[in-house]
A and B are shown apart, each in its own frame.
Chain A
């Protein structure tokens, strides 16, 4: 029997019991659709993570306070402004260093008050963290030096407050003190360290006076000269800080690319887990197909007998049922891919609406690879689960099959 005849015979018999075919296809559609969505969402998550890590800055080293444990001596103060000054003076592998001191800021303007996260920092931050200024300017070294009551707002701060006018060069109130807004940061989206869109930046010297814990910092950002030197810079910073802290390593630090690697692994694990779910769905679909084909075989024992009597070889009969199974999974697979692409896009649309991420849209990239993998799995399912019923049919004794009632 030629392939075309096999396909034709298969289509005929599937069409003649179309409702059953449709129901068994549904399982494959769901399985393949899930696989496509899972792969593309996983890929999208990975891209998103990579982007958010890259958006942090370039050649970045982040130093954070080590969470307090009993093993660390109590008298440690953690990261503080002195560390920043010493690093600037002694660490030649650091191109730039900026402190971050986080504190809650009550922002008032025109009768509206809302709390935001404030970051006390220095003029180096935009360069280190890849921040661009939309209007006005960022904090200057002089602002920091003279403890000027100025601040720079994140792009979404005025909107959150419900203020439509341009706030640059306006007087606002932060924690009850008057500040002059000198600039607004360009919209950027969430990064791994800060969310600059809803942040208020003020000179570190000012925020230091506003908080109880004075000189202590939440983070120090160090920028290496280039990607080759980052890891040497990291070691140098670690060594120096340990010395500054009297041999007490009460901080943790990581380079940007390490974080990227770590996050990527997390995303890949997620992707694998999602893929496994989809494959389980496909296996269930396969069992459904096997069920349909077994029913179809036992319904058509007599037909098999007739075909064998007129000269169909066992292989011809086998292929007839294999083709039916493949046709079911192939058509289910094609529909599933279409459904998967559509579902992936609409899920992304929903995510984007909810996350309101301005610059980085969440995407569900449909790669050729994901489509091929899903389709391949569908084919394998069809072949694997179609084979048993087909073998069963091929092995039927022609004589008994002919007289079967």
Chain B
């Protein structure tokens, strides 16, 4: 798969990076899919849960955007769909003008690897690896040479101001540092879109602010940044806000 960013750059003004049309997502809790989260009791019944109900969203390249709403409003589900981790039950999703529903698992993996970077609330770093190894993890999956990998990972760590912590394991880092390692991991493949799911949710206000600054700085370098949050302080700083309630975008 060729890098989708090339043509997208040329059409920056008129071509949206993310175009979501009438997307719905229904979780069927009885399926094995639900068993991890919901245990054996609910497993017996088939409970269809509508997480998203006809969402329309258009994000241009280089935009900084917050998706907010109360818990259970479907904002994480929407982010997972944008991040190609989840396929919508119905509706159309164009990522860089490519219909995501037509892509197979391998194409989706490559897309996530090259065009998308994730930052999670729980950091999701691999505990047995050093910061550097965590950051270069995505590069393992696109056949970058191991020397180039380390170089790129160091650069990314440098970008988030953690070059002096590269050999520490996640357990030896503070929460804010861990989240910055996660951001470095998200940007190491130089993706066009960074997705952050409650990136400051597990952090104190000071390190939360520093993480948020790192993300807005990334936006200034031209990356599309989408942040899911319910914190009012973050929402206020965002140029564009999409509010979700019960799986529907509210004005």
Contacts and interface: CB of A to CB of B under 8 A. Distances in A.
Given A312-B109, A314-B105, A306 B141 contact: no
Interface in A355-405: 397-400, 402-404
Q: Among A9, A307, A315, which residue has the most Cβ atoms of chain B within 10 A?
A: A307
A42 B142 CA distance: 50
Interface string A310-343: 1111111000000000000000000000000000
22 contacts: A1-B140, A1-B141, A1-B143, A2-B143, A9-B140, A12-B128, A306-B125, A306-B126, A306-B137, A309-B85, A310-B112, A310-B141, A311-B110, A311-B114, A313-B109, A314-B109, A316-B109, A316-B141, A397-B33, A400-B33, A400-B37, A403-B36
Nearest to B114: A311
A150 to B, nearest CB: 85
A303 B126 contact: yes
A314 B33 CA distance: 17
Contact of A313 (B106, B114, B185): B106
Secondary structure of the A contact surface, majority rule: helix
Contacts of A312: 109, 113, 141
Given A1-B141, A308-B112, A310-B137, 4 more contacts: A309-B124, A311-B110, A311-B138, A399-B80
A146 interface: no
A165 interface: no
Contacts of B140: 1, 5, 9
A2 B139 CA distance: 11
B110 A313 contact: yes
Interface of B: 33, 36-37, 80, 83, 85-86, 105-106, 109-110, 112-114, 118, 120, 124-126, 128-129, 137-138, 140-143, 146, 185, 189
A351 B176 CA distance: 69
Contacts of B137: 306-307, 310
B124 A306 contact: yes
Contacts of B146: 4-5
A127 to B, nearest CB: 74
Interface in A52-68: none
Contact of B85 (A301, A307, A402, A404): A402
A307 B129 CA distance: 13
A303 B33 CA distance: 17
A301 B37 CA distance: 13
A228 to B, nearest CB: 67
Nearest to B129: A12
A302 interface: yes
A402 B112 contact: no
Interface of A: 1-2, 4-5, 9, 12-13, 16, 301-303, 305-316, 397-400, 402-404
A12 to B, nearest CB: 7
Contacts of B143: 1-2
A311 B86 contact: no
A2 B143 CA distance: 6
Contacts of A397: 33
A2 B114 CA distance: 17
Contacts of B129: 12
Contact of A309 (B36, B105, B118, B142): B118
A309 B83 contact: yes
A9 B136 CA distance: 13
A161 B243 CA distance: 107
A209 B203 CA distance: 110
Contacts of A307: 137, 141
A101 B126 CA distance: 83
A4 B147 CA distance: 13
Contacts of A5: 140, 146
A308 B37 contact: no
Contacts of A316: 109, 141
A299 to B, nearest CB: 12
A310 B113 contact: yes
What 6 A-B pairs have minimum CB-CB distances, sorted nearest first?
A311-B113, A313-B109, A310-B138, A311-B141, A398-B85, A399-B85
A322 B16 CA distance: 41
Contacts of A310: 112-113, 118, 137-138, 141, 185
A184 to B, nearest CB: 74
A313 B120 contact: no
A300 to B, nearest CB: 9
A313 B105 contact: yes
Nearest to B117: A310
A313 B33 contact: no
Contacts of A309: 83, 85, 112, 118, 124
B138 A16 contact: no
A2 B144 CA distance: 9
A403 B197 CA distance: 12
A310 B146 CA distance: 17
A310 B120 CA distance: 12
Contacts of B120: 402
A5 B110 CA distance: 17
Contacts of A400: 33, 36-37
